Amino acid sequence: MKKVKFILFLLNFLVVYAFAQEVQITGEVRSSSGSLLHGVTIINNSNKKVLGATNQQGQFNIRVNVNTKLLFRAVGYNNLYVDVVAGKTRYNVVLEEAAMEIEETVVVGYQARKRETLTGSAVTISGKEIQDVPVANFTDLLQGKVAGMNVQLNNGTPGMRGSVAIRGISTLNVQGSGDDAFLTPTSPLYVIDGVPIDEGTNYEYGFQTAGPGISPIAMIPVEDIEDITVLKDAQATALYGSKGAYGVILVTTKRGKSKVPIVQYVGQTFLNTPPNLRKVLGGVLERRSRVNQILQNDTSYNAALQLINNTPMLADSLNPYYNNSTDWQSYFYRTTLNTSHSVNISGGDNTFNYKIAPSYYNERGILENTGFTRYSVPMNMQYRPSDRYRMFVNLSPSLAKNSTGSGNAFRQSGVANSANSSSLLPPPSLFSGSMDALAALSMKNDNKTRKFKFSTGDGIFSIQGL
Domains and CATH numbers, the chain: 2-95 (2.60.40.1120), 118-253 (2.170.130.10), 262-276+331-404 (no CATH), 284-325+432-464 (no CATH)
Residue 390 has pLDDT above 90, yes or no: no
pLDDT at 115: 57
pLDDT at 310: 86
Yes or no: say if 268 and 336 are a contact pair by the CB < 8 Å rule: no
Better-scored residue on pLDDT, 344 or 5: 344
pLDDT at 278: 80
**Binning pLDDT at 50, 70 and 90, where does residue 304 land?**
very high
pLDDT at 358: 94
**Binning pLDDT at 50, 70 and 90, where does residue 38 land?**
confident
User: Can you tell me the mean pLDDT for 61-90?
Assistant: 88
Residue 369 has pLDDT above 70, yes or no: yes
The helix/strand/coil state of 351 is coil
CA distance 372 to 216: 13
Q: Checking DSSP bridges between strand 262-272 and strand 182-183, what pairing results, if any?
A: unpaired
- pTM of the full predicted structure? 0.57
pLDDT at 6: 55
Q: Prior bond to 275 cis, omega within 30?
A: no
Residue 195's alpha-carbon distances to 83, 114, 138, 191, 253, in angstroms, are 56, 24, 17, 5, 12
pLDDT at 455: 39
CA distance 432 to 137: 59
Better-scored residue on pLDDT, 13 or 200: 200
Q: Prior bond to 428 cis, omega within 30?
A: no
User: Can you tell me the mean pLDDT for 69-93?
Assistant: 89
pLDDT at 101: 56
Which range is least confidently modeled, 258-272, 308-322, 418-432? 418-432
Yes or no: say if 280 and 254 are a contact pair by the CB < 8 Å rule: no
Longest dimension (CA), the chain: 155
Residue 107 has pLDDT above 80, yes or no: no
Which range is least confidently modeled, 126-130, 244-248, 333-337, 447-451? 447-451
CA distance 398 to 218: 10
CA distance 381 to 376: 17
- 13 Cβ contact partners less than 8 Å away, ≥ 6 residues apart: none
CA distance 373 to 218: 10
pLDDT at 135: 85
CA distance 440 to 456: 8
Query: How high does pLDDT run on average in the chain?
Result: 75
* 386 beta partners: 389
Better-scored residue on pLDDT, 169 or 127: 127
pLDDT at 8: 57
Better-scored residue on pLDDT, 284 or 179: 284
CA distance 111 to 89: 61
Better-scored residue on pLDDT, 415 or 96: 96
Strand (E) or helix (H) holding 304: helix 301-309
Residue 123 has pLDDT above 60, yes or no: yes
